[in-house]
Amino acid sequence: MAEVTRYATGAPCWVDLASPDVQASKEFYRGLFGWSSYTLAVEAFGDYEVFTLGGVQGPEVAAMQTLLDSTEEPSWTCYFSSRDAEAAVRAVAAAGGQEQAEPYQVAHLGRIAQFADTRGADFGVWEPYEFHGAALWDEPSALSWVELVTPDIVEAERFYGEVFGWTTVERPYYRSGYYVCHVDERPVAGMIPMDEFWPADHPTHWMPYFTVADCDAAAERAVELGARLRVPPSDVPTARFAVMNDPVGARLAIVTPGRVF
């Protein structure tokens, strides 16, 4: 498997989990994906658990931090590569989004900033120094796609188009349409509209997809490990996928094959 050394500006490059039970989450993802981990001390928020594949010395694929605020839901945050975190702050503000955490440096690795879009979906940007993001992409047990679930596709297209320069194309993958976002004609993310079949109180959110060799077997294993399936293994023209809440409640999806679009 070839390791990724650089991400295009505006492309997803990293994800991290905010979990109220770090040990339980480590056990779940070790059982589901075979991840190991090591702890990185980050001055801004304490210990940062970095997930690796193929042992502790293996390539980094994701991370986790402790969720200390009991009023917040456990969740995965998706980060997009940026040449300048400060410029991203200005772009988000100009587009109407909110800054959740001002840019701060993570050791010698890079700078990070966190935001909410105009509908409340959390996301972040990563300005790389020595670390560019996930070392594997579209490989078994690694990130392969990110997706925004939103009630307002038109507003999402406008917001992320202004912030990241995305262009969006509708595809017939879902009953209400599916929207694929591009950077320089390369697909980097998806958007799915919440229609009348979704619960009225379902939050707008970004969700990561992780590649698995066998979606059905992985979904069964996830349930055995304590996950709750939200969408059972299902087919779309390009993949078979499932959506779940992990044991602490964070949303994620698994997909076979890895190349979604």
CA distances from 69 to 19, 22, 40, 73, 170 (A): 10, 14, 21, 9, 37
What pLDDT, on a 0 to 100 scale, did the predictor assign at position 174? Answer: 62
Rounded distance, CA 203 to CA 120, Å?
8
What pLDDT, on a 0 to 100 scale, did the predictor assign at position 46? Answer: 74
CA distances from 115 to 98, 161, 175, 218 (A): 5, 15, 30, 32
Tell me the pLDDT tens digit for each residue of 178-217: 999 999 999 999 999 987 777 777 889 999 999 999 999 9
What pLDDT, on a 0 to 100 scale, did the predictor assign at position 36? Answer: 97
Residue at token pair 């986790």: 64
Tell me the pLDDT tens digit for each residue of 63-84: 999 998 888 999 999 999 999 9
In a domain, 133, yes or no: no
The distance from CA 3 to its chain's CA centroid, rounded to whole angstroms, is 19
Average pLDDT over residues 107-122: 94
The distance from CA 119 to its chain's CA centroid, rounded to whole angstroms, is 17
Band (pLDDT 50/70/90 cuts) for residue 221 is very high
In a domain, 224, yes or no: yes
For residue 94, the SS3 value is helix
Work out the percent of the chain whose per-residue pLDDT is above 70: 95
Report the 10 Å Cβ neighbour count for 68: 10
248: which residues sit within 8 A by CB, 6+ positions away? 19, 20, 21, 24, 25, 74
Rounded distance, CA 32 to CA 225, Å?
8
In a domain, 196, yes or no: yes
Residue-averaged pLDDT of the chain: 93
Number of structural domains found in the chain: 2
Instruction: Evaluate if residue 2 carries a pLDDT over 90.
Output: no
What pLDDT, on a 0 to 100 scale, did the predictor assign at position 25? Answer: 98
Same domain, 120 and 163: no
Contact 254, 241 (CB under 8 A): yes
Tell me the pLDDT tens digit for each residue of 40-61: 887 766 788 999 999 989 999 9
Q: How do 186-193 and 178-183 pair as beta strands?
A: antiparallel
Average pLDDT over residues 132-147: 96
Mean pLDDT lowest among 155-159, 180-184, 199-203, 247-251 = 199-203
Contact 157, 38 (CB under 8 A): no
- Domain end call among 68, 93, 128: 128
Same domain, 90 and 153: no
What pLDDT, on a 0 to 100 scale, did the predictor assign at position 1? Answer: 63
What pLDDT, on a 0 to 100 scale, did the predictor assign at position 217? Answer: 98
Tell me how many degrees the CA angle 196-208-114 measures, rounded to the nearest 5.
95
What pLDDT, on a 0 to 100 scale, did the predictor assign at position 223? Answer: 99
Rounded distance, CA 213 to CA 160, Å?
31
Same domain, 181 and 124: no
What pLDDT, on a 0 to 100 scale, did the predictor assign at position 47? Answer: 84
**163-172 contact pairs (CB < 8 A, 24+):** 163/88, 163/91, 163/92, 163/95, 163/97, 164/9, 164/10, 164/80, 165/10, 166/10, 171/261
Q: What is the CATH number of the domain that holds 49?
A: 3.10.180.10
Instruction: Evaluate if residue 258 carries a pLDDT over 60.
Output: no
What pLDDT, on a 0 to 100 scale, did the predictor assign at position 238? Answer: 83
12 prior amide bond cis, ω within 30: no
Instruction: Evaluate if residue 261 carries a pLDDT over 70.
Output: no
Same domain, 108 and 163: no
In a domain, 184, yes or no: yes
In a domain, 134, yes or no: no
Containing domain of residue 34, as a range?
Answer: 12-128
Rounded distance, CA 142 to CA 15, Å?
10
Same domain, 96 and 183: no
